[in-house]
Homo-oligomer: A and B are copies of this chain.
C-alpha cells in the first residue's frame, strides 16, 4: 500500500519549492523511468504496478533501487499522467557545473525565457537527437524538473545538462569569441546561411522572442523563410513555435557541420 506520507511526498514534488528543498524530482511513465534506470542519475525510490515490476525485475535488482508495488488505483492518485501509467520514480537532482571549456568546438543552446513545459521538454529531446549536451537557460525559463518538462523530454533529460544562469552576462562573456546564432523573424535567410563552426544558438521566448538586451549580442542572426503566400492572400502565420525554430536551425547546422562532432 502507498502510505500517506509517500503520496504526500510525490504530490509535493509537483512544486518547484519542494523540489528544491528536497533536491528530488519525479519521473513518470515507462519510457522516462526506463531511461532513468539506465542513466548515471540516482533513482531514490520507485512505485510501480506488479506487471511493470515483473518485467523489470532484473534491472531493479541490478540497480539495487528501493521499489514498492502499488495498485493501478494508487498509481492513478500519485501520477498526473493523462495516459494510463505503470510507474513513478523519485530521483535525485544531479549537480552539473558549467565551465567555458564546454564551449570549445561544441554546439550549445541558450534558452531565453522559454515558459511552456512542452516546448522546454521538446527542445531538450531535440538537442539530445542532434548531439547537443549542454543547454543554458535564463532564470525565467520553466524549471527542468517540472514533471511536464521531464515527460516531454522522453528520457532525454538523462543525457542533457541544463544550466540556469544569467544569460546576458554569459553571452557578454563569450561575445566576439564564439559565434552566437539567434532565431529571428527577419535577417539573413537560413536557406543561404553558411555555418563554418559550432556556437551558441539563442532561442527566444514564446511570446516575446529574444529579449532586447540579448539582441545586440547575436553575431549570426538567421531567419527561417516563410512561404511567400499567394498575392493578396491576406494574413500569414506570424511566427513558428520556439521548439520548431530550434529544431530547424539545429538540423541545418548539424547538416552543414556533419564532419564535426559537437
Q: Is the CB of A131 within 8 A of B38?
A: no
Contacts of A262 in B (CB 8 A): 227
B131 pairs with A244, CB closer than 8 A: no
Q: At the interface with chain B, which of A67-75, A154-162, A171-179?
A: A154-162
Tell whether A125 is near chain B: CB-to-CB under 8 Å: yes
Whether the Cβ atoms of A130 and B226 lie closer than 8 Å is yes
Give bound CA distance, A129 to B226, whole Å: 5
A38-B234, A156-B237, A237-B155 known; A227+B131 contact, CB < 8 A: yes
Chain-B contact segment, one of A6-14, A41-49, A211-219, A248-256: A248-256
Identify which of B126, B228, B248 contacts A251 (C-beta below 8 A): B248
Given contacts A229-B131, A243-B244, A244-B243, are A237 and B122 in contact (CB under 8 A)? no
Shortest Cβ gap from A109 to chain B (Å): 14
Chain A: how many interface residues by the 8 Å CB criterion?
Answer: 46
Q: Mark A124-137, 1 if CB is under 8 A from B, else 0.
A: 01101111100000
Please measure, in the bound complex, the distance between the C-alpha atom of A252 and the C-alpha atom of B254, giving whole angstroms. 13
- Which residues in B have their C-beta under 8 angstroms from that of A126? 240-241, 244
- Asked if residues A154 and B251 are in contact (CB atoms below 8 Å), the reply is no
Q: Per-position contact with B for A1-41: 1 when CB-CB < 8 Å, else 0? A: 00000000000000000000000000000000001001100
* A147 CB to nearest chain B CB (Å): 15
State the Cβ distance, A118 to closest chain B Cβ, in Å.
5
- A227 with B129: CB separation less than 8 A: yes
